Amino acid sequence: MSVFVDTSGLLAVLDADDAFHPRADVTWRKLLASDRTLVTTNYVLVETFALAQSRLGLDAVRALQQDVVPALRVLWVDGELHGAGATALLTAGRRRLSLVDCVSFEVMRREGMRQAFCFDRHFAEQGFETAR
C-alpha cells in the first residue's frame, strides 16, 4: 500500500518548532519502518524545498535532500497531469487551494491511493484519509 507525502507533512517533520512536529515525527518514523511505499511528486518537492529554504535555511534543505528524498518514490508531473491539476484548480475556484494540491489529488486518484501524510485539511475535504 502507498501513502502520498505532502509538503505539510514534510515541513512538520523538518521544523521542530512546527505545531505538528511531535505528531509528524512519530508518524514519519512509523511510515519509514513500515512496508508502505511513500509517494510524492516533483511539484511537492519544489514547494517543500522553497518553503524549507525560506523558513528554515539551507541545513533543512540539506536534510530534506539527503535524508528524506531517498525514502520517497517521486512521480514526475507531465504536461497532461499539470493540465488536469490546473483544470481542477480553476473549476474549484478557491483562492486557498493550490495547484500543487490539485495535482496531488489527481495523482492519488490515478494511483489508487487513499491515505496522505499531511496536515492540510484539503486532503480530507477531497475524501482522503490522513496519516498524522
Confidence of residue 9 (pLDDT cuts 50, 70, 90): very high
What gap in Å lies between CA 64 and CA 13, rounded to an integer?
10
**Number of domains forming the structure of the chain:** 1
Side chain identity at residue 102, one-letter code: C
CA 22 to each of CA 10, 14, 69, 78, 102: distance values in angstroms, whole numbers, following the listed order:
12, 11, 20, 35, 27
Across residues 13-18, what is the average pLDDT? 96
Per-residue pLDDT of 34-86, as tens digits, reads: 999 999 999 999 999 999 999 999 999 999 999 999 999 999 999 999 999 99
Q: What is the pTM of this model?
A: 0.95
Q: What is the pLDDT of residue 87?
A: 96
What is d(CA 33, CA 30) in angstroms, rounded to the nearest whole number? 5
pLDDT at position 132 is 66
User: Which value, to the nearest 10 degrees, does the dihedral of the CA atoms of residues 78, 81, 83, 84 take?
Assistant: 180
CATH number for the domain harbouring residue 31: 3.40.50.1010
Determine the structural domain holding residue 78 and report its residue range: 2-130
Residues 80-101 pLDDT 10s: 999 999 999 999 988 889 999 9
CA distance 79 to 74: 16
Q: How many whole angstroms from its chain centre is CA 80? A: 20
